[in-house]
Structures are given as structure tokens and as C-alpha cells.
Structure 1
């Protein structure tokens, strides 16, 4: 097995290495997303409109569900497969930007996942707004050689065009949704409807051609809707749709409570992680309660909750009663990298720093962002931190053990500390916020996507889960964009989860 980022800097993808062959999979012309483009911001306005004028997602989702039920989808929305008691599947989160970081994941994924029974895409299948004509280069092309079915749950970006393309691709080419009832003039809903972004009239003209890339019978799968459950071997995998604003409507909440019943071990896949960046976000259900209430209920037998949306990997082993539930962030499948060096020293729900895992390591994240800021601000000499310097200063500021063995004689200077502070590294969140450049919120929403790097290391990842009647072994594999990690993808985290 090759070195991981926890072993060496080379294992993290730093240094002079042979570039991977992923570019051979890419189309000759790649459209790069820029969130600084006013046209892009205007197209992606629905999330803001929903927060200002009310979120229509619940009603739209309910109409999609009713339409699928009328077409013959199972009322319980359970996909019953014939998987054996021992099988494997993949989870890939936040994939669809269609550029170098997404395609860099593919060679390792095909190598590791060649014997898996299916894959699940967890959140944001297509950026920027989930358009049908983007599926060719951002879904069908990159995964054309994955020979098993792919299921998906939508993220907020897939909802920017009312989920129309997602339903066509994953739900048996569902027909267009009937328009919603006309709102009362001059009401908030009326104002929202006047400004709401909708699919282009001719969107999807290239979809039939794109489908031929994944046309093998072994690759086909039909979902009952944007949320579903899969009975696979000894486990039930439940995928929920958290819509535009990261919540669950009452109808889906009632369904979730129902399919969570019974002694069968369960794994949740969600677009909004329940533990992330050292904080608890239980995911509110309209009408009362939270998703995490359901996950924690011992009668439901959940063993893990895996969420996308945040573009890195994190794991929190939370002890609930006499058992441990693994709460995982797995959004590193292709979109620009969210920082991990801004995560404070972990101490939440009895999970300490020694039990917490993340990828990229905080030091690699800080080094990555220091180089990015150095390029963008044309202050390379000031901002750029080597991976050794970044690893050392993160360990000092967070008072934690270094992510990998420190290089002897690495000096932590005043400049090193200043850059780390400016880029948001601090033991306590309030300490990091006193004075820093925008990294986590404004930067990642606006500047970070437009500043995505197109040369390794990318710090992308995907999960492989190996299921037996006794346990689930979960491994996080890295994808750096370098050839060595394509041939032998390094394991960044490895945990075995008992099922009983």
C-alpha cells in the first residue's frame, strides 16, 4: 500500500511527481466555473430567493413524489437489491464540476471500486445549477467505465432548477413537473416566482447522446425519487434530500421515521452532514424533531451517518448510550476543496482531537491555501508556507499532535504564525476570527471556486464500504492527481463499524 498523507509529504501529493493520466479522460474543452461571474451568480440565485421569500422545495418535492408514485414507484421508496451478505459499495460526494479535480478522482475510484456492487453520489451531482446538458461531461463521461449502477441524492445545486434534470437522469426519465399553483399577487411567493430561475426551454437536448456513455444493462438503476432507501445485503442504506436550505420537510420526515424502524443496521446518506467543522448540525425536520434524533434512537439501529456538501473528509465517532455512531463528512469527490485548517481542536460530544480524523490534514490545507493566496494576491514570498512549516504551526496553534512526523529543524517564525492566523488557524473559533482573511464562508462561497487549482495535489477523496453480516469496514481513499496515487490510492482513514 502506498504512503498516505499521514506518512509522508510525498504521500500527500507534494513534491516533484509524475502527473496522473486522468486528463486523458477529460473532454478537449472544459468550462471552468467562476462564481465571480455575475451571470453565474444570477443563475444560482434560487438559494438566496428561498431564504428571503420562503423555500418552495417541500412543495416541489412532494409533487415530484406524487408523480413518481403515479408512475409506479414503490410507495415505501425502498429499492430491494439482491446483494449477498458480503458486498462492497462506493460513496462519492459533491462531484460535478467537470474539471481536473473531479476527473482526478476517477482512475483511483475505478481501481479500488472495480468489484463494488454500486455507488452513491452524495450531494451536488452537477454544478453550478444542475442543468441537464451538463450531465454529459460531469456525470456520464467521468463514470462511463464504472460498470455498476449509480444512485444519488441531490444537493442544493441540483435544486437550482427545481430538480428537473436530476429526476430525468436518476428517476426513469421522469416527465416535466406540472407547474405549481399560481400564488396570490404581490405576496412573498409571487415575488419569488417572478424572480425564480428555471431550466432553459431547450435544456437536455444533448442528454440522449450523453446516456450512451453509461448504457450497459449492468449500469442501470432507477430511483423512486430524490430520497430513497436501499436494502442491500444485511444493511439498509437511507438517502435523504435536504433541498436548498439543508432541512427536511414534514412529509419526508414522516417517511424517514417509518423506514428507520426495525432491527436491520442502517447507514444514512445525507446532503447536510450532522457533525462538521467541530460543530453539531442535527438537521431540522419541519413540524418538529431533527434527523439526528432519528439517527440516535437506539430502536432504529443506525451505525453511521455520511454527509456531503462540505468538500473534504471528516469523521466523528460519537458515543450514544452503549454504542458508537460514525458521523462522517464525505464531500471530496470533485468540487473545490474546503479548508480543514480552520477546524478548531475538536472537543464535542465526547469526541476528542485524538479520535477525530480529517483529510486533507490541517497542515496540508493551510499550505494549500497559503500558496493559493500568495498567487492571487501576488505576495508569494510572504504567504507561501511549505507543508513542513504549515504542519508545525498548525500543531502549535491548535496544541495538537502534528498530522505527520515533523521535519527536524523546521522553524516557526513570526511570518509563519502571522500567515496561519490570517488564514484562520486557531485553537478556539473566536481566536481565529479576530482578524483573518476570508477562508471558510465568504471565500469558499465566492472566491474559492474561482480559484480552484488545476494541477496536483487536489486533496480529493472517495469512500469504499465493505459490508459483512458482522461489520462495515469504511475506508477513505485519497486522489491527488499524481500518477502514484492513481495506481495505488492511499488510505487516509480506515475504521471497522460493528453491526451488532
Structure 2
């Protein structure tokens, strides 16, 4: 097995220049997504409008579900697969930017996924606004050689198109009929006036794209934006958290219902419940939270996997006499969210010794130092080696270096300055210092616009092997380098008991 980033810098992809074969899979012309471009920002305005004028996604979601029920979708939203007691499936989150980082995941994914029965895409299938016309190069083409069904849950970017592209591709649903402009309040009228509305799909382009995944083994039709899959000894439940990371009352009632019963369960959500050292239980309209449902011992949840944040994290949270694995898996192709900003973990009885993330904090800091150095044209000042970044992270958090430092690296004042400017987390009690907007404004705006198109990319995906006794969850890395493409490193592994 190949070294991982926890073993060596080579395992992290730092010191090899041979790129993988992924570029052979890409279309000849690839549009590089930039969030600095007003043509990208303006169509993606619905999230801001929802936070200002009220979120209409609950009503729209109900209309989609009602339309699907009228078309014959199962009333309980459950897909029943005749899996054996032993089977495997894949999970990838936040995939669809359609550029080199997304395609760099594909060769390793195809190799690791051999023998799996299906894949789940966890959040943000298509960037920037979930348009039907983008599915050819950002979904059908990259996964055309995966000979099994793919199910998906939408993320906020898929909702920027009012879910029309998502519902067309994954549910074979016709467009919703237009609704009259609401007259109930000034806020509703303003929102309706400014709201980005989906444009008609290019039917010829969609038909050609569907031919790329047209074999009988690849076909899947899910009942709606939220669903459950009964597969062998487990039930996998996917929920739709819309634009603002909440669940409407109707979906909340459904979630409580499908969570009952003796089968162990895995929840897949577009909004992770534990992320960046914080707990986000996900409110349900009308009362309660998603995490209340997960923690109920009668519901038998073994794991929760969330997308939206573009890296990998795992929190093994003790709940009564069991441990629920809360996982972030959003490293499937979109630009990388920093991990070096995650503080020393100490919440819900999960300590730093229990916590896992990919990329490692030191690799994240080294990655962002190069990116900022290039963006600001100050490479000599900003760029940190992976060894320097690893050493300063260990010093700031008071933890041992994840990778052995041989010989030990001296943390100079310059290294400390750059780490502080780039938002590297520090131990509690330290005074806040000037820092650049790495975690919030930068990763939301400037990071996609400055995305790197040369390895290492620090992407990831999951394979889950299920038996009646346990679930084996492994996180695999995709760096874009040939070495890791031929033998994808395992960055994290945990076996979750079901008995």
C-alpha cells in the first residue's frame, strides 16, 4: 500500500512532478470557474437573497415531492435494493467544478470502487448554479466508466437553479410549473423579482450527455431530493438541507419515520453536523434538530457523512454506550477548504488524539502559503515548505508533528508570522492577531478564483464495506500525481461495529 500523507511528504504528493493520466479524461476545452467573475457571482445570488428575504426552498421542495408522488414515486421515499449481507459502496462530496481537481479524483476512484454496488454524491453535484447544461462535463463524462448506479443529495449550489437540473438528471422529473409572483409582503416581492430562475435545458446536449452513462448497470432513478436506500443489513438515508442548511417540517416528519426500525443507519447530508471543531445540529422547522434524531438510540445510527466543506474530517462522538462517527467528506473535486484553521479539537468528548482530517493541517498551511504568495506576488515572503508548516502547526496547537521531522525544523519569526497571517489555529487563550481572510471571505471568493491546477490537489473520496457485523470506512486521497493515482493512499480508516 502506498504511503499516506501521515507517513511521508512524498505520500502527501509534495515531491513528485509526474502528473497522473486524468487529463486524458477531460474535454479539450475546460472553463476554469472563477468566483471573482461577476458572471459567476450574479447567477449564484439566491443564497444571499434567501438569507435576506426568507428562504423559499421548503415550499419549492414540497412541490417537487408532490409532483414526484403524482408520477408514481414510492410514498415512503425508500429505494429497496436486493444487496447481499456483504456489499460495498462509495461516497464523494462536492464534485462538480469540471476542472483538473475534479478529474484528478476519477482514476483512483474507478480503481478503488471496483466491486462496489453504487455511489452516493454528497452535496453540490454541480457548480456554480446546478444548471442542467453543466451535467455533461461535470457529471456524465467524469463518471462514465463507473458501472453502477449513482444517487445524490443536493447542496446549496444545486438549489441556485431551484433544483431543476438535479431533479431532471437524478429523478427524471419535468420542470415545475411557474408560480405567480407572491403578493403577501414586500420581502416576498423583492425576493421574487431578484431571484435567479432556471433557464430551459438544452435537450440535445442533455441527451448526448446521458449516452455516456446509458448502460443498464448504471441506471438509477431516485424518488426525490431526499430518500432512503435499504441495502442488505443497513439503511442509508440522504437528506436535503437546501440553501441555508436547514430541514423543512415535512422532510423532518419523513426523517423521523424512516429513522425508525431495527436496521443500522447511515445519514448522508449536505450540512455536516460536526465540522471545523464545532457542533451544528441542523435545525428542523417546527422544532428539534437532525442530530436529535441521530442520537436517539432507537434509531440506531452508526455514522453521519456530510458534504459542503471541501476536505475530510472525522469526529468519533460517544453517545451513551455507542460511538457515532461524524464525517465530513467534501473533497471530491471543488476547491479546497483550509484545515489549518481548525482549532485543537476538544468537544463532545472528542479530543485531538481522536480527531482526523485530510489534508493534514500542515499540508493545508503549506498549500495556502503558496497560493497566497502567488496571488499577492510575494512568493519569497509567504511560501512555507511542508516541513516548516508542519512544525509551526505543532507549535501553535501544542501537539506532536503528524509526520516525523528529520532533521527537526526550526520555526523562525517569518514562519510564525505567515502562519498567523494565514489563519493557522492556536491554543485557546492566545490573543487574536491580524490575519488574512482564509477561512471565510477567502475560501468563499478568492480561493476558487485562485485555485491551483497543478498537484498536489488534496482531494478525497470514501469507500464503505458493509457486513452484518460492521462498516469499514476508508478515506482515500487523490493528489493528481501519478504515484497516488496508481495506488491511492488510505488517509483514514475506521471500523464501525453494528452489533
Which interval holds the TM-score relative to the shorter structure? over 0.9
Deviations 1:361-389 (A, max 9, x none): 00000000001011011111111000000
Tell me whether 1:224 sits opposite 2:228 in the alignment: no
Tell me whether 1:244 sits opposite 2:243 in the alignment: yes
Deviations 1:318-374 (A, max 9, x none): 000010000000000000000000000000000000000000000000000001011
SS at match of 2:246: coil
Partners in 1 of 2:428 and 2:477 — Cα distance?
28
Moved more, 310-319 or 395-404: 395-404
Partners in 1 of 2:156 and 2:236 — Cα distance?
21
Deviations 1:92-135 (A, max 9, x none): 00000000000000000000001100000000000000001100
Return the offset for 1:255.
0.2
Return the offset for 1:190.
1.2
Q: Which residue of 2 aligns with 1:427?
A: 426
Mapped contact 2:396–2:427 kept (Cα < 8 A): no
SS at match of 2:395: helix
Moved more, 429-438 or 144-153: 429-438
Mapped contact 1:367–1:384 kept (Cα < 8 A): yes
Q: Which residue of 2 aligns with 1:466?
A: 465
Moved more, 403-412 or 265-274: 403-412
Give the 5 Å matches for 1:79-90.
79-90=79-90
Q: Which residue of 1 aligns with 2:132?
A: 132
Q: Which residue of 1 aligns with 2:55?
A: 55
Query: Considering only aligned residues, what root-mean-square deviation do their CA atoms show, in Å?
Result: 1.1
Q: Which residue of 1 aligns with 2:39?
A: 39
Q: Which residue of 2 aligns with 1:162?
A: 162
Q: Note closer, same or farther for the CA distance 1:432–1:209 as it changes in structure 2 (3 Å cut).
A: farther
Q: Which residue of 1 aligns with 2:66?
A: 66
Q: Note closer, same or farther for the CA distance 1:352–1:185 as it changes in structure 2 (3 Å cut).
A: closer
Partners in 2 of 1:240 and 1:13 — Cα distance?
34
Unaligned runs of 5+ in 1: none
Return the offset for 1:38.
1.0
Tell me whether 1:115 sits opposite 2:131 in the alignment: no
Task: Number of aligned residue pairs: give it.
Answer: 499
Tell me whether 1:78 sits opposite 2:51 in the alignment: no
Partners in 2 of 1:401 and 1:268 — Cα distance?
33
Q: Note closer, same or farther for the CA distance 1:202–1:223 as it changes in structure 2 (3 Å cut).
A: closer
Give the 5 Å matches for 1:433-452.
433-452=432-451
Q: Which residue of 1 aligns with 2:21?
A: 21
Tell me whether 1:360 sits opposite 2:351 in the alignment: no
Partners in 2 of 1:450 and 1:129 — Cα distance?
16
Return the offset for 1:201.
3.2
Q: Which residue of 1 aligns with 2:296?
A: 297
Moved more, 198-207 or 288-297: 198-207
Q: What TM-score do the two structures reach when normalised by structure 2?
A: 0.99
SS at match of 2:387: helix
Partners in 2 of 1:51 and 1:430 — Cα distance?
33
Deviations 1:406-425 (A, max 9, x none): 13131110000000011111
Partners in 1 of 2:343 and 2:205 — Cα distance?
45
Moved more, 408-417 or 173-182: 173-182
Partners in 2 of 1:160 and 1:184 — Cα distance?
22
Moved more, 431-440 or 283-292: 431-440
Tell me whether 1:11 sits opposite 2:11 in the alignment: yes
SS at match of 1:180: coil
Moved more, 304-313 or 183-192: 183-192
Deviations 1:443-464 (A, max 9, x none): 0111011111000000000000
Partners in 2 of 1:138 and 1:432 — Cα distance?
44
Q: Which residue of 2 aligns with 1:179?
A: 178
Q: Note closer, same or farther for the CA distance 1:225–1:431 as it changes in structure 2 (3 Å cut).
A: farther
Mapped contact 1:345–1:398 kept (Cα < 8 A): yes
Q: Which residue of 2 aligns with 1:102?
A: 102
Q: Which residue of 1 aligns with 2:370?
A: 371
Tell me whether 1:144 sits opposite 2:144 in the alignment: yes
Q: Which residue of 2 aligns with 1:288?
A: 287
Q: Which residue of 2 aligns with 1:321?
A: 320
Moved more, 177-186 or 51-60: 177-186
Partners in 1 of 2:449 and 2:437 — Cα distance?
14
Mapped contact 1:478–1:490 kept (Cα < 8 A): yes
Mapped contact 1:132–1:204 kept (Cα < 8 A): no
Unaligned runs of 5+ in 2: none
Q: Which residue of 2 aligns with 1:92?
A: 92
Partners in 1 of 2:200 and 2:193 — Cα distance?
17
Return the offset for 1:181.
4.4
Q: Which residue of 2 aligns with 1:259?
A: 258
SS at match of 2:18: coil
Partners in 2 of 1:349 and 1:271 — Cα distance?
21
